[in-house]
Structure 1
Amino acid sequence: MELRFFEIYRNPDYIWLLVEGAGASALITAGSGALGFIMALVLAGVRFGKIPVLGHIAAAYIEFIRNTPLIVQLFFVAFGLPMLLGYQWPFWAHAVLALTLNFSAYFSEILRAGFTTVATGQIEAARALGVPGWLVFVKIVLPQAVARMFPSLNSQFIFLFLTTGVISEIGVRDLTQAGMFIDSRTFRSFEVFFTLTVIYILLALSFKFFLTQVQRHLFKWQVAR
């Protein structure tokens, strides 16, 4: 078998497609991860606080998302919701919404597990001093839970990033779609998908490095322990 990587690298259009696709994959994943984390905080907080009705709705939502394939969620958001609600967004916006919903369910369970690790003595002491319940959650429970579960959130984010290649199925010009386009023109499948593998690994390592630095700066007191 003769490897002919030069058929990819010698064409500047193919190089640009890969760069553009990698950038799109990274930006969509980062945006979805940030929005998903914010949504996860709300979901985990509702469940941790055992708020009537809302807690059950949040639990049902999380179970629904975690027990359905991402590709099904993606198609529903991209094609089902526009038909039901009568709107149309760009493909990348549909991808961001679907990934945000997906990320939020997984992140919320990690955060909820982190909430349970906070010593009840600290919570009871704060309440005995008359600190409002929401302030106890924000100032005592949340910082410790996020700090302790940050490595798990980091790993879950990287795992979910590696599944985002499915957004190419709805027409998003991400890294996977760029590779498929190049493959359809060069018929060098091994070379193309080997190249994609390397790029995905580099992106995953970049995300991991960035998130590790964020952890060290935000939670110095936890890292030092």
Structure 2
Amino acid sequence: MDLDFAQIVPYIPFIFEGIKVTLLVTLLSVVLGFIWGSILALIKISKFGPLNWLAVAYTSVFRGTPLILQLTFVYFATPQLTGYNISQLEAAVLTFTLNSAAYISETIRGGILAVDKGQWEAAKALGIPYRRMMLDIILPQGIKNILPALVNETIALLKESALVSTIGLADILQNANVVKGAIYRYFEPYLIAGVLYYVMVMFLTWIARVVERRMRRSD
């Protein structure tokens, strides 16, 4: 086997620099996706027909098309359609936010509908307004039920963030690609990139297990 890790040692810090971009894209997309996904979930369970239909159609489009297509469309088509030269980071965060919101909205909707009907009936019997009932009673319980699923969505988004290398954003994989071109070796830089992704995913998986254990104790 033709392996020579000595050549890649000077480039390891450069590959590690991609961690900041990977985490930034992931965290921003998860937070913004959760906010937009929560809004979509509330629209889906509402009785306002037109908005409900639009929310369902939105989810269908983003779940039914490849993420890499959405990313390249946002990055390359936005300047053509709007005249705005969107940056690589903006395109990545926008695409992952819109995509993750589609999945998160279904998860939140399921969590809300899983709340015991007695909670809904008790709140209505007490005359609590719908908005306050959702924000103070139903939504917190629904989110508690789906917290592990949200952590899993974060893990999936972390791995999918590697797609930003296709538009040249300097994440872990893109930096590994740069190193590959500099030393003309593939295995070593991609192995390091894979290890970095694996460590981050395992850390998030550990967090998910801790959250699940605490939720079981609190029940």
* TM-score band, normalised by shorter chain: over 0.9
Partners of 1:165 and 1:174 within 8 A in 2: yes
What residue number does 1:100 align with? 97
1:2 corresponds to: 2
Looking at structure 2, the residues matched to 209 and 18 of structure 1 have their Cα atoms a distance apart, in angstroms, of 24
Q: Residue 88 of structure 1 aligns to which amino acid in structure 2?
A: N
State the identity as a percent: 35
Q: In the alignment, residue 63 of structure 1 is paired with which amino acid?
A: S
Match of 1:42 among 14, 39, 43: 39
Alignment check: 8 A CA contact 2:78 2:85 kept: no
Counterpart in 2 of 1:201?
198
Measure, in 1, the Cα distance between the counterparts of 2:47 and 2:197.
Answer: 40
CA RMSD of aligned residues (A): 1.8
Most deviating of 106-115 and 47-56 = 47-56
Match of 2:170 among 168, 173, 183: 173
CA–CA separation in structure 2 for the residues paired with 1:8 and 1:23:
20
Aligned-residue offset at 1:160:
2.1
Unaligned 5+ residue runs, structure 1? none
CA distance in 2, matches of 1:223, 1:164: 33
Give the TM-score normalised by the residue count of structure 1. Answer: 0.91
Picking from 48, 51, 62, the partner of 1:51 is: 48
Give, in angstroms, the shift of residue 223 of structure 1: 4.3
Secondary structure of the residue that 1:55 maps to in structure 2? helix
Q: TM-score, normalised by structure 2?
A: 0.93
Would the aligned equivalents of 1:148 and 1:222 in 2 still touch at CA under 8 Å?
Answer: no
Per the TM alignment, residue 222 of structure 1 is displaced from its structure 2 partner at its CA by 6.0
SS of residue paired to 1:4: coil
- Could you say which residue in structure 2 is the equivalent of 1:85? 82
**Cα distance 1:132–1:220, how it changes in 2: closer, same or farther (>3 A)?**
farther
Question: 1:1-225 counterparts in 2 under 5 A?
Answer: 1-9=1-9, 11=10, 14-210=11-207, 215=211, 223-225=217-219
- Counterpart residue type for residue 54 of structure 2: I
Kept in 1, the 8 Å contact 2:78–2:86? The answer is no
Distance 2:90 2:52 in 1: 28
Give, as a single letter, the amino acid of the residue that structure 1 aligns with 2:81: L
Work out the CA distance in 2 between the residues paired with 1:17 and 1:31.
23
Report the 3-state secondary structure (helix = DSSP H, G, I; strand = E; otherwise coil) of the residue aligned with 1:17. helix
